[in-house]
Structures are given as structure tokens and as C-alpha cells.
Amino acid sequence: MTDTQTPEVQAPVFQIQRVYLKEASLEQPNSPAILLEQQQPSVDIQLGVESTPVAEGVFEVCVTATVHTKIGDKTVFLAECKQGGIFEIRNVPDEQMGAVIGIACPQIVYPYLRGNVADLITRAGFPPVHLAEINFQAMYEQQQAQAAATQQ
């Protein structure tokens, strides 16, 4: 009788270790004069996602929002917040890791970022800017398509 060993398959692990506000800044370079303007400011919002391995099976995923409001060519305010999350991700197939880090993690971190951006802007004396819901899957797929086009 032969004893055959099958490799032990470990269950995937996905746990949130911590979600935190990594960075927040707000500038009002043209205050107080710009606050007396009656025009509606234009609002430009930029979002970014980045990830960094912290330890074996542990990753930091950050979502950054930059909100720049202007009247004409003068800045009313510039707010930037970076919300971070530390995630334990183990035993996930390599082909699925990109999606976990690029979609699942930002979806968890983003609601905290939205709240912090609205709070920071409100505390600065402005009406809150509410960031729209983001489809991180579409954003990830677009980034993958751009990366593939760049390689060709």
C-alpha cells in the first residue's frame, strides 16, 4: 500500500488590519479676497489608487482624492486627502491578486476617504464636496487596458 501526499491547499485570507487617514492638506492661497467673489467656482477632482507591499502577505492600499476649486485662474481651495488601509491577503492566486488590490481594497477604503474629504472642506468654511461613487472595477479594467496598450 502506498501513501500519497497531496499538498495542503490553504484557504484564501482577506482581512482588513486597519483603515486610517494617512495624509490631509488644505490650502486657501487667495483667502480672504476670493471668499467675497460671487461666481460659482469650477471644481476639478482627481482620484488615484496605489498599493505597497508592507510584509509577507500584508499590503497597504491608499486612495487619494485631490479637489481643486477655482474662480477664473485663482484657486479658491485645494484639498488633498490620502486614505490608507492595511490588508492581509494570503493564498490568493496570482492572477486574482491585481483585482483584489485594485478593486476590493479601494472599495473598502473609499467611503472613509469620502467622509474625510467632505469633513475637511466643511471645516475650512466651504460647502462640503461629496465625491461621487466610484466603480473601481471599471477603473481597474481601464488601467489594465491602458497598461496593455502601452506595452504594445
pLDDT tens, position by position, 68-93: 999 999 999 999 999 999 999 999 99
pLDDT tens, position by position, 1-22: 555 555 567 899 999 999 999 9
In the chain, DSSP finds a helix count (H) and a strand count (E) of 3, 4
* Parent domain of 111: 13-127
Q: Which residue's C-alpha cell is 502577505?
A: 57
Q: How many domains does the chain have?
A: 1
CATH value at residue 63: 3.10.420.10
Work out the pLDDT band at 57, boundaries 50, 70, 90.
very high
Check residue 62 and give its pLDDT.
Answer: 98
Average pLDDT over residues 136-149: 89
Predicted TM-score (pTM) of this structure: 0.86
Residue (of 111, 48, 41) closest to 80 by Cα position: 48
The DSSP result for 24-73, as a single string, is EEEE-TTTTGGGG--SPPEEEEEEEEEEEEEETTEEEEEEEEEEEEEETT
- Residue 85 belongs to a domain: yes
- What's 125's DSSP letter? T
